[in-house]
């Protein structure tokens, strides 16, 4: 157990070291940058709330990614699934004025989940029935989703005055922050935590979750023991999409209240780093999401005070993923055992990416 | 002369070779015998350059070999035919051989020239070659062995090391193969034959070295020893009594009925052709066959991992297909998930999973408890149910699979090459377990390419060849005839 | 009109095909490189930066090669030497490259939004060939990179299918353990494939900034690297198939501008989405992995 926590910390430390080199190359002060990040993320109450706000979508997409990755389904499309979920929420939101609050929330979230489920399900179906590598299909769907969003905010869903490319605001009944206005604390955060717990139970305490993990670790054996791979693939991708879509709906319902272009600053990709830091464990997603949410939040302060553009956060994401993968390789197993003790858990992400086979 | 001096090799915590000295002379066939896990393959890999020893070195004609470089070994004149397949399935046989020594390495790649050279060598050896530009994919097992031997010989090696080459050959092909080894010896080469089949070793070798648990325990010649003595040296104790000899078939109630099972592969080639047979309670039915005649697919069908083109599998008992437990041939690939814990591997079997699941909820502690019981009962050497399966030794993994099969309380157990890779003691134990199961009223289908195993413990014997099955009469036990039928001879 | 569309098709297809050909080499050796998008981006950025500050296109191209190779080298260390999961590593590399190019772009060129232009690579009309009606200008009035790509298609076909090196390459992708047992050197060959691919992909990126857009914008590659991955699959791991598939996707991209210029009533986003949607549709029809090298995507370590 200790080694499970120690490894991500070690990886983050190493990432920090490498980032420092990059920063030095850019002529910035590493300590200054890290201080700015920390200050921006946690410096005062408002910053902390903002960090949580920025972490929330990462919990949803992080859960989506970790669930799919646990089944060796490489869902790189959480961004697109979140976007489609947001579109569904943004489309139905303005029409919910006459519903009671609870019902309106339920509807808008359901719409988001459904939208995301469809987007994920398409990729799942393509993999299950047409042998299409889901990495490529989900990436393509990301691009299509971006254009879909652009279209709706310039077209069918555009707000009536047609002054700005956004959609009509959603009805107040459908807004999640209702109980805590004007602070941006919202029930979506609670939902995220509840879902994380639910995903954990699903993965480790149900028969279905076991089948998912078995499929992810050894597809051949899973097939041999009667686990129906095509159906499982489809449903896992649909569920994964639903989680991401839910994240999109929560974002629209609680924070943005409307749609606009570039709704997601890359939460779907960031989710990969989140999932790996959490070692694909749904409970670990929460602290991991907060970490990356903090980085996102702090990056604006970093830009202001240190002159480093926010893209640095993506560099951090990429490095963290690479380092964690490198840590888990069997190549270092001897060294790993010495530092972390004999570990009884396998690599979080199995080395084999199961390509669809004929 | 080929020498290995004080070779030591460790894999993690396992000491595979412990200061092993080995020597083979030109113009001799030297048999290296030992149980599976004794270190024979490891020693071969060190000599052939695929593995670097921790200590010690291999020396050919006085010149030390560069460790860990297959290229250097090949250049020095050592070629190996490995136990696991080393051909490139989707390439043509000409391309496969071109990657050997038939390609001169100069000028443009000339597959025609490669084919010509290969054919002439094959003619000298009495081999038949596949049709031009045929891929290796659909070749028979015997053809593949021939191609691998040919590729090894294409390097014109001083030393030829063969690792269990006869395990996939039909008994009838064995004689020709041993003659081939003799002719190679006649050419002055050094032939190292790694085998666990003692009869072959005695029949063809000039000298025999016995390995046990990574150490050399004996060096002898066929004249000075017997199979029994070698077996004793190999396992270091009294040879366990073979399991109860063939008992007459029990006439229990029929339990499994296979009717006209047919299966084609994705190219339309027929893999199983109207298979029909039935199995009764208390029977141990053997299906003998050389690898690659449809056994794997039959096992997949019985496991429910695949669906037949036509035909029926019926378990007569009212209960559904979960009344069958299957132990696949590929332990590590198909039977277990090495990354998962023992109890998780246990519940891979649907009946066991259902036992610990209610309404979709998995009762983890119940599963762990169940696993603990089985570990006790089947004497699996493991720290506990939470151990990762990959940490277990091969024999213990097999025990786990057998335990899982029996714990599922099936009516029928289907086992495919269940003792491959196990040492004699473990084999005897597995056989005992299976016989106990059948004595208790269960039915067993034992699919194997090892005729000795089948003759020892099976009541009924079927032969599978080219996807067709035939039942032998109770009296027909002549290994020669059975071997011919396995190799596809028609009556 | 038609001529403009066809010319545009070739222009759009070239960077995709160039990257795809590099990826073909890599996949034949048994590795799948999702980081190809990152290598393209790196090549694009380095090419522009060096060309802008040095004033030399040639130096820019050299920089692009270096950039692509550097990115692929990181990938190679992880995937070939350390045998980690290829898919996740590749994705991380693409994210990393996106971030690095973004950060360094802002640092070097500031956030003023002013476009930093370079003059494009010169076109080299091929004399009399360029004067053939219709096909002349479409095929033979391009810059050197395009011609290079043209030549690469048959060259790579020949190398992979008919040379000794190609045989060894394919052996690594088919069964690496057997290849190593024969002394072929799987690790070395996979590294070589990744280096060459890095160079080609870097050049593909350079095409985007030096020939096509003449500047750099964030994420200029816009998924072309990923489209290249699909091209390899749809083209059934065969150079000619890759060429055909690239032309198809190039046409879809060229269509965007053609139809926008027509000012039709159909929303322009449809056209921007077209290449990606088309990729999906084509993959659904022809996207099976049956023709893939057997060991593709499986990490391999010598024992």
Element (H, E) at B444: strand B443-448
Six-digit token string for B157: 């090696």
DSSP secondary structure string for all residues of B348-371: TSHHHHHHHEETTEE-HHHHHHHH
Q: Which tens digit of pLDDT belongs to each residue from B181-230?
A: 898 888 889 999 998 788 888 989 999 999 888 888 889 999 888 888 88
Does residue C288 contact residue A142 with C-beta atoms inside 8 Å? Answer: no
- Is the pLDDT higher at B449 or at A263? A263
Residue A278, classed as helix, strand or coil, is coil
> Does B433 score more than 80 pLDDT?
yes
Name the CA radius of gyration of chain A, rounded. 21
The per-residue pLDDT for B319 is: 52
Q: Do A214 and B340 touch (CB under 8 A)?
A: yes
Contact, B320 vs A197, CB < 8 A? no
A265: which 2 tokens?
A: 């600053």
Output B30 or C301, whichever has higher pLDDT. B30
Encoded tokens for B491? 């009556």
A358, closest residue in chain C (CA to CA)? C290
The yes-or-no verdict on residue A187 having pLDDT over 50 is yes
Which helix H or strand E contains B250, and what residues bound it?
none
What pLDDT is stored for residue B285 in this prediction? 92
Choose between C12 and A176: higher pLDDT.
Answer: C12
Minimal C-alpha gap between A257 and chain C (Å): 23
Give the model's pLDDT for residue B466.
82
CA–CA dist B470, B211 (Å, integer): 39
Q: Is the pLDDT of residue A354 over 70?
A: no
DSSP symbol at B128: P
Predicted local distance difference test score (pLDDT) of residue A147 = 93
Look at residues A112, A233, A238, A95 and name the one whose alpha carbon lies nearest to residue A157.
A95
How close is the nearest chain C Cα to the Cα of A319, in Å? 7
Instruction: For chain C, positions 187-216, list CB contacts with chain A under 8 A.
Output: none
Give the residue from A218, A344, A354 with the most B CB atoms within 10 Å of its CB, the best one to mutate.
Answer: A218
Inter-chain CB proximity B99 and C162 less than 8 Å = no
Chain B positions touching A358 (Cβ under 8 A) are 266
Mean pLDDT, rounded, for B54-77: 88
pLDDT digits (tens, 9 = 90+) for B273-331: 899 998 988 889 999 887 778 898 999 999 888 888 888 888 876 554 457 899 998 88
Q: ω before A182 within 30° of 0 (cis)?
A: yes
Give the mean model confidence (pLDDT) for residues C284-290.
Answer: 79
The CA R_g of chain B, rounded to the nearest whole Å, is: 24
Beta strands B207-212 and B215-220 are antiparallel
Concatenate the DSSP letters of all residues of B140-154 into one string.
-HHHHHHHHHHHHHT
Contact state of A154 with C233 under an 8 Å Cβ cutoff = no
Look up residue B369 and give its two tokens.
């408890």
Enter the tokens of residue B304. Answer: 């429910």
Rounded mean pLDDT, A318-347? 70
Rounded to whole angstroms, the Cα distance separating A8 from B14 reads: 30
Nearest to C183 among B70, B86, B95 (CB): B70
The whole-angstrom distance between B109's CA and the closest CA on chain C is: 5
Tell me which of B11, B88, B162 to substitute to probe the interface with C (most C C-beta atoms closer than 10 Å). Answer: B88
Interface test with C, best of B50, B84, B137 (most C CBs within 10 A): B50
pLDDT digits 0-9 by tens, C256-265: 776 666 666 7
Mean pLDDT of chain B: 85
Nearest to B360 among A207, A214, A226 (CB): A207
Please say whether the beta carbons of B78 and B48 come within 8 A: yes
Those residues whose C-beta lies under 8 Å from the C-beta of residue B156, and which sit 6 or more positions away, are: B77, B101
Question: Residue C168: its pLDDT value, please?
Answer: 94
The whole-angstrom distance between A217's CA and the closest CA on chain B is 7
Phi-psi region of C56 (alpha: psi -120 to 50; beta: other; left: phi over 0): beta
The pLDDT value recorded for residue B83 is 80
Task: DSSP for C208-276, please give it.
Answer: IIIIISSS--TTTTTTHHHHHHHHHHHTTT-HHHHHHHHHHHHHHHHHHHHHHHTT-SS-HHHHHHHHH
Chain C stretch 271-290, residues whose beta carbon is closer than 8 A to a beta carbon of chain A: 272-273, 276-277, 279-280, 283-285, 287-290
DSSP A287-337: HHHHHHHHHHHHHHHHHHHH---TTHHHHHHHHHHHHHHHHHSGGGHHHHH
Q: Which of the listed ranges A235-244, A330-339, C54-63, C160-169 does the model predict with the highest average pLDDT? A: A235-244
Nearest to B394, CA basis, from B43, B38, B44, B7: B38
Determine the straight-line distance between the first and last CA of chain A, rounded to whole angstroms.
39
Distances (CA, A) of A350 to A71, A216, A280, C76: 10, 8, 11, 18
Predicted confidence at residue B246, as pLDDT, reads 47
pLDDT at position B237, please? 61
Alpha helices in B19-132 (DSSP H): 40-47, 70-76, 93-98, 111-125
- Note the pLDDT of residue A226: 87
CB C88 within 8 Å of CB A348:
no
Q: What is the pLDDT of residue A195?
A: 97
Q: Does C89 touch chain A (CB under 8 A)?
A: yes
Strand-pair partners of B24: B2
Best CA proximity match to B423, nearest among B391, B398, B446: B398
Q: Would the CB atoms of C85 and A311 count as touching at under 8 Å?
A: no
Judge: C103–A315 Cβ closer than 8 Å, yes or no. Answer: yes
Pair type for strands B357-358 and B361-362 = antiparallel
Q: Neighbouring chains of C at 3+ CB pairs within 8 Å?
A: A, B
What is the spatial distance between Cα C270 and Cα A259, in angstroms, rounded to a whole number?
19
Where do we find the tokens 């949607």? C277
Segments of B250-404 assigned E as strands: 254-264, 270-280, 284-288, 310-315, 324-327, 357-358, 361-362
Residue C169 neighbours by CB under 8 Å, 6+ apart: C25, C28, C29, C160, C189, C193
Backbone angles phi, psi at C194, to 5 degrees: -70, -35
Mean pLDDT score of chain A, rounded to an integer? 87
Report residue A303's pLDDT band, with 50, 70 and 90 as the boundaries: confident
A106 C-beta neighbours (distance < 10 Å), count:
14
Query: Best residue in B296, B339, B382 to probe A by mutation, most A CBs within 10 Å?
Result: B339
- Cβ contact B357–A346 (<8 Å): no
Q: How many CB pairs under 8 A join B and C?
A: 61
B388 chain-A contacts, CB cut-off 8 A: 344-346
Query: Which is more confidently placed, C136 or B59?
Result: B59
First to last CA, chain B: 47
Contacts of C88 in chain A (CB under 8 A): 69, 74, 272, 276, 321, 325, 349, 353
| % of chain C exceeding 70 in pLDDT | 93
Closest CA to A326 of A10, A1, A6: A10
Flag if A312 and C103 touch (Cβ within 8 Å): yes
A243: nearest Cα among A54, A91, A59, A51: A59
Give the residue with greater pLDDT, B243 vs B353. Answer: B353
Residue B211 near residue B32, CB atoms below 8 Å = yes
In terms of Cα–Cα distance, which of A282, A279, A250 is closest to A267?
Answer: A250
B118-163: pLDDT as tens digits:
898 888 877 788 888 888 887 877 788 888 989 999 888 999 999 8
What is the value of ipTM here, to two decimals? 0.87
pLDDT > 70 in chain B, percent: 93
For residues C193-207, give the mean pLDDT: 96
Q: What is the pLDDT of residue A358?
A: 29
Residue A35 burial class via C-beta count within 10 angstroms: exposed 0-12, middle 13-18, buried 19 and up: middle
Which range (A53-62, B295-304, B478-487, C113-122) has the least confidence? Answer: C113-122
Q: Is the pLDDT of residue C128 over 80?
A: no
DSSP state for residue B91 in the 8-state scheme: S
SS3 for B21? strand
Q: Which two tokens stand for residue A277?
A: 């830091």
């Amino acid at each position: 157990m200790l080694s499970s926590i120690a490894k991500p910390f070690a990886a983050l430390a190493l990432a920090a070291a490498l980032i420092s080199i990059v920063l030095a190359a850019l002529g910035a002060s590493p300590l200054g940058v890290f201080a700015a990040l920390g200050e921006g993320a946690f410096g005062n109450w408002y910053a902390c709330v903002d960090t949580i706000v920025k972490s929330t979508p990462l919990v949803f997409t992080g859960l989506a990614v970790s669930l799919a990755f646990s089944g060796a389904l490489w869902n790189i499309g959480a961004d697109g699934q979140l976007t489609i979920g947001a579109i569904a929420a943004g489309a139905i939101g303005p029409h919910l004025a006459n519903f009671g609050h609870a019902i309106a929330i339920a509807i808008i979230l359901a719409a988001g989940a459904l939208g995301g489920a469809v987007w994920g399900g398409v990729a799942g179906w393509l993999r299950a029935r047409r042998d299409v590598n889901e990495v490529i299909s989900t990436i393509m769907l990301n691009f299509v989703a971006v254009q879909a969003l652009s279209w709706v905010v310039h077209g069918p869903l555009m707000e009536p005055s047609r002054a700005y490319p956004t959609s009509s605001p959603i009805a107040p009944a459908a807004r999640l922050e209702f109980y805590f206005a004007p602070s941006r604390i919202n029930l979506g955060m609670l939902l995220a935590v509840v879902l994380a717990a639910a995903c954990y139970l699903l993965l480790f305490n149900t028969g279905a979750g076991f089948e998912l993990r078995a499929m992810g670790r050894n597809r051949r054996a899973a097939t041999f023991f009667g686990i129906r791979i095509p159906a499982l693939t489809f449903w896992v991708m649909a569920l994964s999409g639903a989680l991401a879509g839910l994240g999109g709906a929560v974002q629209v319902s609680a924070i943005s209240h409307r749609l606009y272009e570039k709704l997601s600053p890359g939460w779907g990709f960031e989710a990969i780093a989140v999932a790996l830091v959490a070692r694909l464990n749904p409970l670990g997603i929460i602290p991991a999401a907060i970490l990356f949410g903090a980085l996102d939040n702090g990056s604006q302060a970093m830009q202001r005070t240190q002159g480093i553009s926010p893209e640095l956060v993506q560099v951090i994401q990429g490095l963290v993923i690479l380092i964690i993968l490198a840590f888990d390789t069997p190549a270092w197993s001897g060294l790993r055992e010495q530092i972390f003790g004999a570990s009884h858990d396998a690599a979080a992400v199995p080395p084999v990416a199961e390509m669809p086979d004929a | 002369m080929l020498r290995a001096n004080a070779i030591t090799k460790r894999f993690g915590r396992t000491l595979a070779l412990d200061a092993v000295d080995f020597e083979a002379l030109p113009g001799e066939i030297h048999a290296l015998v030992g149980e599976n896990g004794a270190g024979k393959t490891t020693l071969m890999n060190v000599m052939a350059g695929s593995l670097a020893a921790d200590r010690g070195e291999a020396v050919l004609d006085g010149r030390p070999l560069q460790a860990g470089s297959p290229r250097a070994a090949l250049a020095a004149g050592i070629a190996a035919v490995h136990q696991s397949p080393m051909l490139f399935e989707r390439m043509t046989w000409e391309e496969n051989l071109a990657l050997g020594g038939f390609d001169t390495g100069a000028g443009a790649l000339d597959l025609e020239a490669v084919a010509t050279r290969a054919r002439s060598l094959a003619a000298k050896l009495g081999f038949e070659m596949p049709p031009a530009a045929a891929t290796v994919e659909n070749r028979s097992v015997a053809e593949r062995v021939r191609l691998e031997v040919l590729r090894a010989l294409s390097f014109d090696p001083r030393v030829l090391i063969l690792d269990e080459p006869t395990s996939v050959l039909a008994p009838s092909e064995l004689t020709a193969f041993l003659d081939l080894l003799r002719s190679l010896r006649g050419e002055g080469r050094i032939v190292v034959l790694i085998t666990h089949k003692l009869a072959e070793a005695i029949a063809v070798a000039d000298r025999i070295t016995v390995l046990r648990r990574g150490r050399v325990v004996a060096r002898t010649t066929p004249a000075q020893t017997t199979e029994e003595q070698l077996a004793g040296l190999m396992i270091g104790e009294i040879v366990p009594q073979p399991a109860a000899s063939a008992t007459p078939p029990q006439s229990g109630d029929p339990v499994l009925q296979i009717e006209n099972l047919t299966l084609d592969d994705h190219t339309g080639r027929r893999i199983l052709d109207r298979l029909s047979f039935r199995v009764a309670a208390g029977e141990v039915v053997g299906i003998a066959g050389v690898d690659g005649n449809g056994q794997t697919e039959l096992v997949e069908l019985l496991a429910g991992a695949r669906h037949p083109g036509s035909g029926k599998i019926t378990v007569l008992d009212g209960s559904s297909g979960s009344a069958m437990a299957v132990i696949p041939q590929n332990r590590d690939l198909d039977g277990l998930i090495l990354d998962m814990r023992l109890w998780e591997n246990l519940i891979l079997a649907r009946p066991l999973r259902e036992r610990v699941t209610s309404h979709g909820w998995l009762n983890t502690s119940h599963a762990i408890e169940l696993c603990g019981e089985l570990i006790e009962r089947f004497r699996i050497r493991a720290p506990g149910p939470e151990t990762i399966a990959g940490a277990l030794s091969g024999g213990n993994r097999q025990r786990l699979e057998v335990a899982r099969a029996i714990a599922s309380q099936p009516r029928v157990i289907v086992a495919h090459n269940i003792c491959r890779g196990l040492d004699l003691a473990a084999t005897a134990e597995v056989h005992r377990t299976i016989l106990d199961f059948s004595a208790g009223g269960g039915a067993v289908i034992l699919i194997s390419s090892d005729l000795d195993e089948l003759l020892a413990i099976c009541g009924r014997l079927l032969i599978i060849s080219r996807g067709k099955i035939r039942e032998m009469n109770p009296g027909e036990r002549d290994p020669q005839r059975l071997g011919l039928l396995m190799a596809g001879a028609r009556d | 009109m038609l001529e403009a569309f066809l010319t545009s098709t070739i222009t759009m297809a070239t960077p995709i095909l160039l990257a795809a050909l590099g990826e073909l080499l890599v996949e034949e050796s048994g590795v799948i490189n999702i980081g190809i998008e990152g290598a393209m981006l790196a090549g694009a950025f380095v090419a522009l930066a060096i060309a802008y500050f040095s004033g030399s296109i040639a130096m820019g191209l050299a920089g692009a090669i270096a950039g692509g190779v550097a990115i692929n080298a990181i990938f190679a260390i992880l995937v070939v030497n350390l045998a980690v999961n290829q898919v996740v590593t590749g994705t991380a590399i693409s994210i990393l490259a996106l971030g690095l190019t973004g950060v360094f772009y802002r640092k070097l060129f500031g956030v003023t939004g002013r476009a930093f232009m370079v003059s494009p690579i010169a076109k080299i009309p091929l004399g009399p060939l360029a004067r053939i009606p219709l096909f002349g200008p479409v095929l033979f009035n391009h810059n050197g990179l395009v011609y290079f790509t043209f030549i690469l298609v048959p060259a790579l076909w020949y190398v992979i299918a008919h040379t000794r090196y190609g045989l060894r390459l394919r052996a690594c992708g088919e069964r690496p353990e057997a290849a190593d047992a024969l002394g072929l050197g799987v690790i070395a060959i996979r590294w070589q494939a990744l280096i060459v691919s890095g160079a080609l992909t870097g050049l593909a990126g350079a095409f985007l900034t030096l020939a096509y857009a003449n500047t750099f914008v964030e994420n200029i590659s816009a998924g072309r690297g990923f489209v290249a991955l699909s091209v390899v699959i749809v083209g059934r791991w065969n150079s000619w198939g890759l060429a055909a598939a690239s032309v198809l996707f190039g046409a879809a991209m060229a269509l965007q501008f053609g139809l926008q210029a027509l000012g039709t009533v159909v929303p322009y986003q449809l056209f921007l989405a077209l290449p990606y949607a088309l990729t999906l549709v084509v993959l659904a029809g022809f996207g099976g992995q049956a023709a893939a090298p057997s060991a593709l995507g499986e990490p391999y370590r010598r024992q």
